Chains A and B, each alone.
Chain A
């Protein structure tokens, strides 16, 4: 096989980016939330493993949308 498979490069996988602490804080302020209200994503998810994000991190997902062209979701990384 040689090279390992890069999940992030796959065309069906939307773009995932880790938010910095400042960005996370800004996001929480914008929606007046804590991480509890965010949608979750497992830390065992291939993209998260590839990003190297840890539980508690917030991930920004740029997804293709049928209605809006592109849409942004935020998800919190959780373990188990």
Chain B
């Protein structure tokens, strides 16, 4: 354990005084030279060995520590002339403007000073530091433009600043020396009104007379492959400062003309300024010889790539992996397929005991290349050693209990799987690892919904918990099977999708299946106990499906078509298995099974049901063709007729409105009435035509999908077979485009259906150019809508979740925030955990039934 020498009680930010700078420095830097002829660091140079060590093996000349032991020591340079610290220019300007040119008192009448001091005190105590700062600003701004000093009654000059760091008083330049003299003369008592604490700092320290040199450890030089040394940007910049500073010293001592000294002084000011901040807008940034802009102090801290947001707030983690995902329906929903490459790179630490030493030794013997092996061992003294061909023998020799082996991932290991954006708790779930060939992470398509994942190139992250506690917590609380029921509406969020639904829909509708085929299907679904299968030659689909259900399961519900689904004692008596009961976010069947038989059983059952569906389709064959959307000639005629009748109706309406005989609807004028009436007629066309088309619809793949709810709906089908229908923007017929018309193809003022976005063709017969254009308008509109809405709602959600992140339900059932203030007296006002209810309500009847 590291002994605690000092405990941090608080942190004070203030300005280093020149004395402190010199006192805390280990070296005075006097030469811009870095190395001597032999290639050793020069004494008094910028990489003086007293500033710390950056080479392994060397010892620090100041403290005697080695490379990671010594954190480095500061140095200083004495500046030949004072330099304005660029980061304090604003404060210096405020002070100059608000103090008297002659007596250096603050430009506030004596009688008011006391008042302001006590007011600041009060504001500071009551509203906090930030409010006090604001108050200071208003006070200072109020007085800084006074023309006469209230103390000595003398006229004040106008202080101007020429950015970034030159001060002028009535167009005469104030040198940093003059500025410093003025700051020195400001009385301690006056400083307090500016918000300065004179016990901590003096304003003249904002004009530098000595410059701190940071230790070499924060600006390490790198040795290139060629053996050449390359210095850090900061060292380069400091080199410039030291060089110009020396030149300035020499010139002053030699009594050079004032012009030359001024020039050098300005140059020194430039170098010191860019050393602090290389992004000052009025001055050109300092560059490398190659033209690359130097990264100096401010650049290191500021912005997204800076120390704060990148290194401190942005954390990265080991034992994690990321790659493209792809589906694998043969995996359990609890599993994740991990490519071999990842499995040999990611590791799990295993402690060697006398019971597993033989077992774990094998991993070390296999080494990092042979699977399953190990990459590192950790000795009891905490030293980490990589297992390589060279070190393997040595490691095996000393291998004993107490060692920790970081072995490769194996089937059944615990991992956390995550897809961004992590919007709800199901965005990061625990999976059990299954090592597979290939290069993608594999997941069961049933868990796409909670992650909101698809396989068009989505990537996901995998994390390997490294301690027993973490693994236990992940497995018990976060395993996929524990997350099947969504806390949002209390229904299953993991459920069958697409082909799994279609397959079950078809198989449960089947009346006669030969026993052999039934057993084959069940076996493929993962069933090996066929005792529940009736002892008959011919088996019905419902009987087949019932094999999967537990013997004491009872359920009554409805399927998608509205027919009753009845399960009595684990036997499906009536109804079809479709989206209403198997699908995601729908139906109580999965929820009831979860409630009755627990997460493990449900996950297993889901896997079996989906596999049964998929294999049914595999055996039966399932496809979709253009013939599925064909209609008979008479039906086509009938639909055409509907359209013609409607168009005639519309023409009649238009005519009526022109003649003024159209009966007005309440609250609407002629135009609005006409629009409404036309819309009414048009909306009916699609429904009517759809109904006619569906009447004739024969069994087809497309229809099966729509009926089972796997994909598509009746509207989609009627758009393909009958009429696409009216395209409307914001609830109105299309009216955009040209003056008085939608496209130049139409006559002005044409209000007929076709000219305002009605598509009377269907997708099979093909669209006319103008119809296609109307469709494209709608498509573009919805595309823009989603593109604009997604970031907006994302930000809204972020604000909400940040505001509510530490609300918590306490043991007394109240919802409280971090300060334990009550937000709600009962969670959700009803105190219910939605995931434990049936869609937010408790089924009291069922509970009574159970208790009886």
A65 B830 Cβ-Cβ under 8 A = yes
A5 at the interface (CB under 8 A from B): no
B832 A67 Cβ-Cβ under 8 A = yes
A32 B812 Cβ-Cβ under 8 A = yes
Contact of A38 among B819, B822, B829 (CB under 8 A): B822
A37 B816 Cβ-Cβ under 8 A = yes
A71 CB, nearest partner CB in chain B, Å: 4
Q: Chain B residue with minimal CB distance to A68?
A: B830
Q: Chain B residue with minimal CB distance to A63?
A: B829
Q: Point out residues on B near A: beta carbons under 8 Å.
A: 812, 814, 816, 819-823, 825-826, 828-832, 840
A60 CB, nearest partner CB in chain B, Å: 10
**Given A31-B812, A37-B820, A67-B840, residue A73 in contact with residue B830 (CB < 8 A):** no
A68 B821 Cβ-Cβ under 8 A = no
A14-53 residues at the B interface, CB under 8 angstroms: 30-33, 36-39
Interface hub of A30, A32, A66, A71 (most chain B Cβ within 10 A): A71
Q: Chain B residue with minimal CB distance to A72?
A: B825
Measured in the bound complex, the distance between the Cα atoms of B826 and A68 in whole Å is 10
Measured in the bound complex, the distance between the Cα atoms of B830 and A64 in whole Å is 11
Which 8 A-B pairs give the minimum distances between C-beta atoms?
A: A68-B830, A71-B829, A65-B829, A67-B830, A68-B829, A37-B821, A67-B829, A37-B822
- Report chain A residues within 8 Å CB of B816: 37
**Given A32-B812, A37-B816, residue A67 in contact with residue B828 (CB < 8 A):** yes
Interface size on A, residues (CB 8 A): 16
Q: Chain A residue with minimal CB distance to B814?
A: A31
A22 CB, nearest partner CB in chain B, Å: 19
B487 CB, nearest partner CB in chain A, Å: 14
- Report chain B residues within 8 Å CB of A31: 812, 814, 822
Could you pull out 15 A-B pairs where Cβ atoms are within 8 angstroms?
A31-B812, A31-B822, A37-B819, A37-B820, A39-B821, A39-B822, A65-B829, A67-B828, A67-B829, A67-B832, A68-B826, A68-B830, A71-B829, A72-B825, A73-B825
- Report chain A residues within 8 Å CB of B825: 71-74
Measured in the bound complex, the distance between the Cα atoms of B825 and A66 in whole Å is 15
- Report chain A residues within 8 Å CB of B830: 65, 67-68, 71
Tell me whether chain B's interface is mostly helix, strand or loop, or mixed.
loop
- Report chain A residues within 8 Å CB of B814: 31
- Report chain A residues within 8 Å CB of B820: 33, 37
Q: Point out residues on A near B: beta carbons under 8 Å.
A: 30-33, 36-39, 65-68, 71-74
- Report chain B residues within 8 Å CB of A73: 825
- Report chain A residues within 8 Å CB of B829: 65-68, 71
Beyond the given pairs A36-B821, A71-B825, A71-B829, 16 more chain A to chain B contacts, judged by CB atoms under 8 angstroms and listed by A's residue number, are A31-B812, A32-B812, A33-B822, A37-B821, A37-B822, A38-B822, A66-B829, A67-B829, A67-B830, A68-B826, A68-B828, A68-B829, A71-B826, A71-B830, A72-B825, A73-B825
A13 CB, nearest partner CB in chain B, Å: 18
Interface hub of A36, A37, A67 (most chain B Cβ within 10 A): A67
Q: Chain B residue with minimal CB distance to A40?
A: B821
B809 CB, nearest partner CB in chain A, Å: 13
A17 CB, nearest partner CB in chain B, Å: 15
- Report chain B residues within 8 Å CB of A32: 812
A80 CB, nearest partner CB in chain B, Å: 13
A68 CB, nearest partner CB in chain B, Å: 4
Measured in the bound complex, the distance between the Cα atoms of B825 and A60 in whole Å is 12
Measured in the bound complex, the distance between the Cα atoms of B474 and A47 in whole Å is 50
B403 CB, nearest partner CB in chain A, Å: 50
Measured in the bound complex, the distance between the Cα atoms of B553 and A18 in whole Å is 52
- Report chain B residues within 8 Å CB of A33: 820, 822
Measured in the bound complex, the distance between the Cα atoms of B823 and A33 in whole Å is 13
Measured in the bound complex, the distance between the Cα atoms of B826 and A74 in whole Å is 12
- Report chain B residues within 8 Å CB of A30: 812
- Report chain A residues within 8 Å CB of B822: 31, 33, 37-39
- Report chain B residues within 8 Å CB of A72: 825
Q: Chain B residue with minimal CB distance to A27?
A: B825
- Report chain A residues within 8 Å CB of B821: 36-39
Measured in the bound complex, the distance between the Cα atoms of B820 and A30 in whole Å is 15
Measured in the bound complex, the distance between the Cα atoms of B829 and A72 in whole Å is 8
B825 CB, nearest partner CB in chain A, Å: 6
B133 CB, nearest partner CB in chain A, Å: 24
B126 CB, nearest partner CB in chain A, Å: 13
A27 CB, nearest partner CB in chain B, Å: 10
Measured in the bound complex, the distance between the Cα atoms of B812 and A46 in whole Å is 32
Measured in the bound complex, the distance between the Cα atoms of B723 and A69 in whole Å is 47
Measured in the bound complex, the distance between the Cα atoms of B840 and A77 in whole Å is 33
A16 CB, nearest partner CB in chain B, Å: 15
Q: Chain B residue with minimal CB distance to A73?
A: B825
Measured in the bound complex, the distance between the Cα atoms of B822 and A33 in whole Å is 9
Measured in the bound complex, the distance between the Cα atoms of B823 and A68 in whole Å is 16
B44 CB, nearest partner CB in chain A, Å: 62
- Report chain A residues within 8 Å CB of B823: 39
A5 CB, nearest partner CB in chain B, Å: 29
Q: Chain B residue with minimal CB distance to A74?
A: B825
